[in-house]
Amino acid sequence: MIFGSENAVPKYSVISMLDISYELTRTKKEKPDQTKLGFGRYFTDHMFIMNYTEGKGWHSPRILPFQNISLSPAAMVFHYAQEMFEGLKAYRTPAGEVQLFRPEKNIERMNNTNERMCIPKVNPDDALQAIRAIVDVDRDWVPSVEGASLYIRPFIIASDPYLGVRISNEYLFIIILSPVGAYYEQGINPVKIYVENEYVRAVKGGTGFAKVGGNYAASLIGQKKAEEMGYAQVLWLDGIHRKYIDEVGAMNVFFVIDGKVVTPSLDDGNILPGVTRASCIELLKSWGIPVSERRISIDEVVEAHKSGKLSEAFGTGTAAVISPIGELNHGEKMILNDGKIGPISQRLYDNLTGIQWGKLEDPFGWTCKV
Ligand SMILES: *Cc1c(COP(=O)(O)O)cnc(C)c1O
Burial code (b: 16+ CB inside 10 Å, e: under 16) for 262-283 equals: bbbebebbbbbbbbbbbbbbeb
Q: Which of 352, 357, 211 is nearest to 282 (CA)?
A: 352
Residue 161 carries which DSSP code?
B
* Mean pLDDT, rounded, for 133-150: 96
Domain spans, the chain: 21-181, 191-356
- For residue 316, which atom of ligand 1 is closest to its CA? 8
User: What ligand 1 atom has the least distance to the C-alpha of 317?
Assistant: 8
pLDDT tens digits along 311-342: 999 999 999 999 999 999 999 999 999 999 99
Residue 60: its H or E element: strand 57-65
Helix (H) or strand (E) holding 298: helix 298-306
Give CATH for domain 21-181.
3.30.470.10
276 Cβ inside 6 Å of ligand 1: yes
User: Which percentage of the chain shows pLDDT scores above 90?
Assistant: 92
CA of 311 to the centre of ligand 1 (A): 24
Pocket test for ligand 1, best of 108, 113, 251 (most atoms within 8 A of CB): 251
- Select the more confidently predicted residue: 44 or 9: 44
Answer yes or no: is the C-beta of 279 below 6 A from any ligand 1 atom. no
- Torsion on CA atoms 329, 330, 332, 336, rounded to nearest 10: -50
Rounded mean pLDDT, 36-41: 94
- Quick one: CA torsion of 194, 196, 199, 201, rounded to 10 degrees? 80
Of 272, 275, 314, 366, which is best to mutate to test ligand 1, by the most ligand atoms within 8 angstroms of its C-beta?
A: 272
Q: Are β-strands 57-65 and 21-22 bridged in parallel, bridged antiparallel, or unpaired? A: parallel
**Dist CA 308 CA 102 (whole Å):** 37
- Prediction pTM value: 0.94
State the distance from the centre of ligand 1 to the C-alpha of 247, rounded, in angstroms.
9
- How many A from CA of 285 to the centre of ligand 1? 21
Does position 291 have pLDDT exceeding 50, yes or no? yes
> Do residues 160 and 32 touch, judged by C-beta distance below 8 A?
no
Any atom of ligand 1 within 6 Å of the Cβ of 87: yes
Please give the class, per CATH, of domain 191-356: alpha beta
Tell me: pLDDT of 17 over 90: no
pLDDT for the residue numbered 8: 43
| Ligand 1 centroid – CA 299 distance (Å) | 25
pLDDT band for position 184 (cuts 50, 70, 90):
confident
What distance in angstroms lies between residue 241's CA and the mean position of ligand 1's atoms? 23
pLDDT at 157: 98
Residue to probe by mutation, ligand 1, list 110, 196, 252, most atoms within 8 Å of CB: 252
pLDDT at position 183: 80
Q: What is the pLDDT of residue 3?
A: 38
Query: Is the separation of the CB atoms in 116 and 214 below 8 Å?
Result: no
* CA-nearest residue, atom 12 of ligand 1: 250
Predicted confidence band of residue 238 (pLDDT cuts 50, 70, 90) = very high
User: Which carries the bigger pLDDT value, residue 7 or residue 192?
Assistant: 192
